[in-house]
Amino acid sequence: MTRSMESYPHFSICLSRRSGPRAFLVAWLWLIASISVASESRHTGTLEQRIDSVAKRAMETWNVPGMAIGVVKDGKTVYSSGHGVRAFNAPAPVDADTLFRIASASKAFTSAALAVLVESGSLSWDSPVVEHIPELRFSDPWVTANITVTDLLAHRSGLMAHAGDLLLWPVPNAFTRQDVIQALRHFPIERGFRAGYSYENLLYIVAGEIVARETGTPWGSYVDQNIMQPLGMRRCFAGPIPEQEMINLAVPHGEVDGRLKIIDRNRIPRQPTKFAPAGGVVCSLSGMLNWLQLQLGRGTHPQGVQLFSPGQSEKVWAPHNLLGVSQSARELHGTLFRAYGLGWRIRDVFGYREISHTGSLDGWRAHVLMVPELELGIVVMSNGSSSAARSAVMYTIEHGYLPAPERDWVSTYLEMERAAEQEQELAEAALPETPAAIPSLPQSVYAGRYHDPWFGEVLIERAESGLWFTARKSPRLSGPMRHHSGHVFVVEWSDRSLELDAFVRFHVDELGQVPSMTMKRIVEPGSGDPDHFKLLEFSRVD
């Protein structure tokens, strides 16, 4: 455990010579303004005490069993500590070597691997992807011919956000990386190529495949050999985890039917999943602090290990795809600009550039953040499913180093959640009453085999309680179907931790036959959750 006992270093950091003249002016004006306010210090207690306090409150508030939190500043680790336990039903504590899944924070490892290859001259950021994966096809031939490595990583393909995620999650499933590549030809280019931002996971799988084909080494093994090992990240893995390292593992948790439970399907696996380049890295806090040191060193670790040049660092941190700025971001973070780089998000926060990425997988939350001009890096990892807990801890730490107003982030996120719940209640109250559940046709008419071009076969069977849904290649998507209205049923997955219940609409022709069906995810009003079923179009095959 490494913890700084210095006072919370807000003013000394802001006035550091590394901050530059603009940052110096901002900090000086803030200091002058603060003198006229209360005499009480904005930041009471040491860095250790403040982080310990907010971590404890956040974990208790949102029922998170464990967290690992680290801070690097000016090339040194100033805070590194585990909090809580690896599993809610066991006493083993979280420490700096406990393994966590970092989910989509893994995307930066994919961009770093490609930066190493670009640095070596093996490929170009602007080379067409079909030069590396000739069989790749999109629904638009022009996109097929012109999409580049940069386009893959910047979420600007024009596909619907989260297109094809059902090929990746939930695990386990039988889809392969080749299935991912083949599926892309079935998805429409909705927004226009390079015409906007649509968050994608599948295209990071494609990017990982480029690494594999250019090096002759699977993506995970390449990252382990060329990033983790040179940096001494002994407890970090993109590829297979050696059996002797399958110790000190955090366990994923989520609330299911109001109770905290372990999400077994998302435990740390020994073998990497196919979605590893998009969200499969497993790492400890000690390893992630090394990762932050490399990033803040613009490709060179303080111990002298160089993986790529500062030019490549600026490439992945450059704004390749502009994003909108919400009212809450303006109010809470002083943000005026947001963009996506290559595996990183970029924005301004109270006059400073922030480079970050979150990771969210059922049972896991991670947040990696840097303020390069302050040589500041922060990582928060948890084995719970609360994004609010992760963010409350992260912004308490980050804003302490910035000329930002004092804020109780735990209370702030609680208020935001209450407001969202009230909005949801109002939206639900405005919905019409559900019609009486009387099927329009005998349920036997709907039973049969249905096939989608990219997702494969689904079986609708008669069961004692009615109809039963089974996806052949994704066995977790299995469960009873309850009649809703007309030819619409609700499928409620047997695994209640999925939170992916969906409407199934059977399409009936003039002869009373059922030639096809479509699906739509049931989401809470205003949640913004993606509809993973939108692109499915099943045709009956029996």
Q: What residue type is 23 in one-letter code?
A: A
Cβ atoms of residues 328 and 409 within 8 Å: no
User: Total domain count for the chain?
Assistant: 2
Rg (CA), the chain: 24
User: In degrees rounded to 5, what are phi and psi of residue 160?
Assistant: -60, 140
Asked if residue 532 and residue 394 are part of one domain, the reply reads: no
- The answer to the question of residue 306 being in a domain is yes
pLDDT for 176 equals 96
Q: What confidence tens digit (pLDDT) does each residue in 45-54 have?
A: 788 999 999 9
Q: How far apart are CA 405 and CA 407, in angstroms?
A: 6
Q: How confident is the model at residue 465 (pLDDT cuts 50, 70, 90)?
A: confident
- The answer to the question of residue 415 being in a domain is yes
Q: What confidence tens digit (pLDDT) does each residue in 352-411 have?
A: 999 999 999 999 999 999 999 999 999 999 999 999 999 999 999 999 999 999 999 999
What domain range is 19 assigned to?
A: 10-107+228-421
Mean pLDDT throughout 528-539? 93
pLDDT surpasses 90 at 5 = no
Q: How confident is the model at residue 431 (pLDDT cuts 50, 70, 90)?
A: low
pLDDT surpasses 60 at 229 = yes
Which letter does DSSP use for residue 93 in this model? B
Number of H helices, E strands in the chain: 16, 22
Asked if residue 457 and residue 388 are part of one domain, the reply reads: no
Tell me which residue of 200, 187, 193, 203 sits closest to 535, measured CA to CA: 187
pLDDT for 191 equals 86
Return the top range by mean pLDDT from 158-162, 419-423, 528-532.
158-162
- The answer to the question of residue 130 being in a domain is no
Cβ atoms of residues 361 and 273 within 8 Å: no
- The answer to the question of residue 115 being in a domain is no
pLDDT for 410 equals 98
- The answer to the question of residue 345 being in a domain is yes
pLDDT surpasses 90 at 158 = yes
Q: What residues contact 303, with CB distance under 8 A and at least 6 apart?
A: 232
Domain harbouring 488, CATH code? 2.40.128.50
pLDDT for 421 equals 87
Asked if residue 447 and residue 414 are part of one domain, the reply reads: no
Percent of the chain with pLDDT over 90: 84
pLDDT for 21 equals 39
CA angle 155–121–228, rounded 5-degree value: 70
Asked if residue 528 and residue 469 are part of one domain, the reply reads: yes
Percent of the chain with pLDDT over 70: 90
Which letter does DSSP use for residue 455 in this model? T
- The answer to the question of residue 165 being in a domain is no
pLDDT surpasses 80 at 526 = no
Domain harbouring 271, CATH code? 3.40.710.10
Q: How confident is the model at residue 523 (pLDDT cuts 50, 70, 90)?
A: confident
By three-state DSSP, how is residue 449 classified? Answer: strand
Asked if residue 449 and residue 407 are part of one domain, the reply reads: no
Q: How many CB atoms lie within 10 A of CB 409?
A: 22
Asked if residue 397 and residue 306 are part of one domain, the reply reads: yes
Q: What confidence tens digit (pLDDT) does each residue in 466-485 have?
A: 999 999 999 999 999 999 99
pLDDT surpasses 70 at 455 = yes
pLDDT for 9 equals 35
**Domain end (from 368, 386, 421):** 421
Cβ atoms of residues 529 and 539 within 8 Å: no
Asked if residue 322 and residue 414 are part of one domain, the reply reads: yes
Window from 22-31, 66-75, 177-186, 430-439 with minimum mean pLDDT: 22-31
Tell me which residue of 218, 241, 251, 135 sits closest to 184, measured CA to CA: 135
pLDDT surpasses 90 at 189 = yes
- The answer to the question of residue 464 being in a domain is yes
pLDDT surpasses 60 at 540 = yes
Asked if residue 490 and residue 405 are part of one domain, the reply reads: no
Q: Model's pTM, two decimal places?
A: 0.90
Q: What confidence tens digit (pLDDT) does each residue in 62-76 have?
A: 999 999 999 999 999
Torsion of CA 255, 345, 121, 117, to 10 degrees: -10
Asked if residue 406 and residue 480 are part of one domain, the reply reads: no
Asked if residue 385 and residue 480 are part of one domain, the reply reads: no
pLDDT for 307 equals 97
Asked if residue 452 and residue 386 are part of one domain, the reply reads: no
Asked if residue 417 and residue 346 are part of one domain, the reply reads: yes
pLDDT for 42 equals 42
- The answer to the question of residue 319 being in a domain is yes
